[in-house]
Amino acid sequence: MNTLNAESSIPITTGGPEGHHKRKGLMIVGMFKLLKGTMLLVLALGLLHFLHRDVQQYAEELISKFRFDPDNRHIAGFLAKLGLVNDHRLEELSGLTFFYAALLLTEGIGLLRQKRWAEYLTVVATASFIPLEIYEINRHVTWIRVLLFVANLVILTYLFFVIRKDRPAHG
């Protein structure tokens, strides 16, 4: 059964197996976006925690506490990079992380509420990050990067077909 969405005057499927699958798919994507947004929100707050603190010293204390070898080339390189982090850089990183978290949370809430605008926002936002994800994978392949890339491609493809399918027919 088709009805008109009062928000956009676009027919949406409300009943039958197709409507159920669409709602279920949007719920899964929405929950995924909420999970990513929540994790980034926690990260942004964590970055603010280190303002006016010596990040490198804190990391060195953790490395010592867990008895990791500070002379390991990976750990030494990580510590060297942390030595370059200052308050201004932490504020920038935290601000960008807050912005991205807000975007993901907006997408997730909109999708869970089955808002048409959220489908379009998610397609545009997800597609805009694909080139960056490809660059990062080419720079250094990790299973997390590949997994997130594939998940974003699946979400993008799914939403593209949902939007095309729900598009009103033009006479």
Q: Look up the pTM and report it.
A: 0.74
Which of 163, 58, 169 is closest to 120 using CA atoms? Answer: 163
List, in sequence order, every residue forming a beta bridge with 11; answer none if it has no partner: 4
**Cα–Cα dist 12/104, whole Å:** 24
pLDDT tens string 122-131: 999 999 999 9
pLDDT tens string 74-124: 888 888 888 888 999 999 999 999 999 999 999 999 999 999 999 999 999
Domain count, the chain: 1
Does residue 30 sit within a domain? yes
User: Position 36: which residue type?
Assistant: K
**Cα–Cα dist 129/151, whole Å:** 12
Domain that includes residue 26, residue range: 12-50+85-166
Does residue 151 sit within a domain? yes
Burial of 29 (0-12, 13-18, 19+ CB in 10 A): buried
Does residue 143 sit within a domain? yes
